[in-house]
């Protein structure tokens, strides 16, 4: 089992969310998701200012043999995107929970975070998918 930080929340579609405590969150894809995809070659980032719906697709991560949508785990406005991924998509492979973050969102409703999984529930989901 890959490491799953306990201070993050998770979506079933394998995104993680970090509550920055100021009404914004940071979003990325999990270690497990990057393992499934393999070496990433491109990240299609959302635009700053875009309004996202929870569950809506908003970014794409591409490997050589697959392309996977990234779904926004929350509703709100994109405040920042990780431009560094443009030239170095492999950052997600190397540090999915850290430097490999994808975008930040100003939350419409902080209560939405309660709909997401905690680390234990996410690990259980991954274990189940493996079967």
Partner 1 sequence: MPFIPHTEEDIQEMLTAIGVDSIDALFDEIPDELRCGELDEIPAGMPEMEVSRLMQGRARQDGQPLCFLGAGAYDHHIPAAVWQLTTRGEFYTAYTPYQAEASQGTLQLLYEYQSMMTALTGMDVSNASLYDGASALAEAVLMAVRGNRKSKSGRILVPRTLHPLYRRVTHSIVRNQGIELVEIDYDSESGQVDLSSLEQHAGEDFAALVIPQPNFFGVLENTDRLTDWAHANGMLAIAVVNPLAMSILKPAGEWGESGADICCGEGQPMGAPLASGGPYFGFLCCREKLVRQMPGRIIGKTVDLDGKPGYALTLQAREQHIRRSKATSNICTNQGLMVTAATIHMAIMGGEGLQRVAAACHANTKKLAQTLCDLPQVESPFTGPVFHEQVLRLPLAAKDALRALAAHNVLGGFDLSDDYPELENAILVCATELRSDEEIEQYRSKLERVIAAQVQTPCQLKPDW
Partner 2 sequence: MIYEQSRSGRQATAQTNFEMPALPDIPQELLREQPAGLPEVSEMQAVRHYTRLSQKNFSIDTHFYPLGSCTMKYNPRACNSLASLPGFLSRHPLAPDTHSQGFMACMHELQEILKHVTGMHAVSLSPAAGAQGEFAGVAMIRAYHDARGDDARTEILVPDAAHGTNPASAVMCGYKAREIPTGQDGDIDLEALKEVLGPQTAGIMLTNPSTVGVFERRIKEIAGLVHDAGGLLYYDGANLNAILGKVRPGDMGFDVIHMNLHKTFSTPHGGGGPGAGPVGVSQRLEPYLPVPMVDFDGSDYVWLTEKERSDTIGRLSAFAGNAGVLLRAYVYARLLGREGMHRVAEFSSLNANYLLKRLMEAGFDAAYPERRASHEFILTLKKQAKELGVNTMDFAKRMLDYGVHAPTTYFPLLVPECLLVEPTETEAKEDLDDFVEIMKTIKQEAETQPELVKQAPHTMPVRRLDDVRAARELDLAWKGQE
Shorter beta-carbon distance to partner 2: residue 39 or 109: 39
Among candidate residues 43, 44, 34, the one with its CA nearest the CA of residue 93: 34
Residue 63 as a binder of partner 1 (CB under 8 A): the answer is yes
Shorter beta-carbon distance to partner 1: residue 22 or 47: 47
Shorter beta-carbon distance to partner 2: residue 20 or 39: 39
Return residues touching partner 2 (CB under 8 A): 39, 41-42, 62, 64-65, 89-90
Residue 64 as a binder of partner 1 (CB under 8 A): the answer is yes
Shorter beta-carbon distance to partner 1: residue 62 or 90: 62
Q: Which stretch binds partner 1 (CB under 8 A): 19-27, 37-45, 93-101, 109-117?
A: 37-45
Contact residues: partner 1, CB under 8 A: 41-42, 44, 47, 62-67, 69
């Amino acid at each position: 089992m890959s490491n799953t930080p306990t201070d993050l929340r998770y979506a079933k579609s394998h995104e993680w969310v970090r509550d920055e405590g100021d009404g914004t969150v940071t979003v990325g894809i999990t270690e497990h998701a990057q393992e499934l995809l393999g070496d990433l070659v491109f990240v299609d980032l959302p635009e700053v200012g875009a309004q996202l719906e929870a569950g809506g697709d908003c970014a794409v991560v591409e490997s050589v043999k697959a392309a996977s949508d990234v779904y926004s785990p929350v509703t709100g406005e994109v405040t920042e995107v990780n431009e560094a991924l443009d030239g170095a998509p492999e950052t997600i492979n190397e540090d999915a929970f850290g430097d490999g973050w994808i975008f930040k969102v100003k939350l419409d409703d902080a209560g939405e975070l309660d709909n997401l999984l905690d680390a234990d529930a996410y690990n259980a989901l991954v274990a189940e998918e493996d079967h």
